[in-house]
């Protein structure tokens, strides 16, 4: 069977060790899926694959052992999942139109977790609608708070939820639970003076733990949602590294704009001779320098008054 491997991979199927067989990759933005879709995945695995499913590190699924002649049939069976997850698609029953930009992954978020400062699944889906399909190699992950359960600092773009905690002094009973917790578990941004709690905004990282610890609801989350955007973390063979802060106290709209701007930057500077036409974005930034990336990333972005942009970033 004559296989165009470039076309195969772009359609989100994998070249595998089994001759003549492939594995189908299924995007699940935010890692959250209705259980009814699992029955379809089971049917595909049993009918076309080897009866197994793999849960990927990026919160998608991979169905191995599929003879390549069944790719068109599998694409048709995936259609209801693609529609159910509201994945952008070029034409129906043709499967996924790209696999370069990886599935947007996320922690469970504030639908379940009390520490999370926002709905990570909702934001992940908003991002997916904005950026997919795209062939460029970009990894994005969202986490609800600085605990960083999703390992956002190992991504090209890591989005960490923050809140600007509001304090109502008349509710405070002076128990100092929030102060002790902040000192022991966070950054020590709180102190107790004149029978009231004072917050050092320079030290506060917006984790929201003071809100969870307060027995009288003296602390509450701000109505405005903020995020910390960390960039250019990576694993891989060459020089793995942790992402660094780019913009702190940034809003959702600005993050989406920055990521969309980054695709223009990649289009301009990607190594045209890169193997398979793919180059990890972090290496492009290494080549052009952070300041050039920053110029492109922030083009026409209208940041809020509270946003703090790093003047420079040095990765180890």
Domain of 246: which CATH number? 3.30.413.10
Q: What are phi and psi of 264, to 5 degrees?
A: -65, -40
Q: Let me know whether 239 and 292 are in one domain.
A: yes
Q: Is the pLDDT of residue 278 over 90?
A: no
Q: Is the pLDDT of residue 84 over 70?
A: yes
Which residues, 6 or more positions from 202, have their beta carbon under 8 angstroms from its beta carbon?
Answer: none
106-144, pLDDT tens digit by residue? Answer: 999 999 999 999 999 999 999 999 999 999 999 999 999
Q: Let me know whether 234 and 155 are in one domain.
A: yes
Q: Give the CA count within 13 Å in the CB-facing half-sphere of 135.
A: 13
The verdict on residue 99 lying in a domain is no
Q: Let me know whether 60 and 129 are in one domain.
A: no
User: Can you give the pLDDT at residue 63?
Assistant: 98
Percentage of the chain beyond pLDDT 70 is 100
Q: How confident is the model at residue 238 (pLDDT cuts 50, 70, 90)?
A: confident
Q: How confident is the model at residue 1 (pLDDT cuts 50, 70, 90)?
A: low
284-300, pLDDT tens digit by residue? Answer: 999 999 999 999 999 99
Q: Domain range holding 136?
A: 105-162+226-309
The verdict on residue 316 lying in a domain is no
Q: Let me know whether 119 and 16 are in one domain.
A: no
The verdict on residue 315 lying in a domain is no
User: Can you give the pLDDT at residue 3?
Assistant: 80
- Mean pLDDT for 37-55 is 98
* Total domain count, the chain: 3
Q: How confident is the model at residue 248 (pLDDT cuts 50, 70, 90)?
A: very high
User: Can you give the pLDDT at residue 211?
Assistant: 97
- Mean pLDDT for 139-162 is 97
Q: Let me know whether 155 and 30 are in one domain.
A: no
User: Can you give the pLDDT at residue 2?
Assistant: 72
Q: Let me know whether 142 and 235 are in one domain.
A: yes
Contacts 24+ apart (CB under 8 A), 237-246: 238/283, 241/282, 241/315, 241/316, 242/153, 242/154, 242/316, 243/152, 243/153, 243/154, 243/155, 243/156, 243/157, 243/158, 244/310, 244/313, 244/314, 244/315, 245/310, 245/313, 246/297, 246/309, 246/310, 246/313
Cis peptide before 133 (omega within 30 of 0): yes
- What integer best gives the mean pLDDT of the chain? 96
Which of 21, 56, 85 terminates a domain? The answer is 85
The verdict on residue 178 lying in a domain is yes
Q: Is the pLDDT of residue 164 over 80?
A: yes
Q: Is the pLDDT of residue 28 over 90?
A: yes
Which of 179, 203, 221 terminates a domain? The answer is 221
Q: Let me know whether 15 and 77 are in one domain.
A: yes
The verdict on residue 314 lying in a domain is no
- Mean pLDDT for 230-250 is 94
Q: Let me know whether 275 and 134 are in one domain.
A: yes
């Amino acid at each position: 069977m004559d296989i165009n491997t470039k076309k195969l991979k772009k359609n989100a199927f994998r070249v595998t060790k089994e001759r003549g067989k492939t594995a189908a990759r299924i995007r699940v933005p935010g890692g959250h899926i209705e259980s009814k879709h699992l029955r379809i995945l089971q049917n595909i695995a049993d009918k076309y694959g080897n009866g197994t499913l793999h849960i990927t590190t990026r919160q998608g699924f991979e169905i191995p052992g599929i003879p390549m002649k069944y790719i068109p049939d599998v694409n048709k069976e995936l259609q209801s999942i693609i529609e159910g997850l509201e994945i952008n698609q070029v034409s129906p029953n043709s499967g996924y139109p790209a696999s370069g930009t990886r599935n947007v992954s996320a922690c469970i978020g504030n639908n379940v977790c009390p520490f999370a400062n926002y709905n990570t699944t909702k934001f992940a889906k908003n991002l997916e609608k904005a950026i997919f399909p795209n062939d460029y190699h970009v990894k994005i992950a969202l986490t609800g708070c600085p605990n960083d359960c999703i390992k956002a600092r190992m991504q090209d773009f890591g989005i960490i939820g923050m809140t600007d905690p509001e304090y109502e002094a008349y509710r405070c009973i002076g128990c100092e639970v929030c102060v002790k917790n902040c000192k022991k578990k966070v950054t020590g941004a709180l102190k107790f003076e004149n029978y009231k709690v004072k917050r050092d905004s320079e030290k506060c990282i917006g984790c929201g733990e003071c809100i969870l610890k307060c027995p009288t609801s003296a602390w509450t989350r701000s109505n405005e949602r903020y995020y910390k955007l960390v960039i250019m973390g990576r694993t891989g063979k060459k020089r793995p590294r942790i992402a660094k802060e780019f913009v702190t106290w940034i809003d959702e709209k600005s993050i989406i704009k920055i990521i969309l701007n980054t695709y223009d930057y990649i289009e301009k500077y990607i190594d045209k001779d890169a193997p398979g036409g793919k180059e990890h974005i972090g290496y492009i930034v290494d080549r052009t320098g952070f300041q050039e990336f920053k110029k492109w990333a922030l083009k026409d972005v209208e940041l809020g008054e509270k946003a703090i942009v790093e003047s420079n970033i040095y990765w180890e």
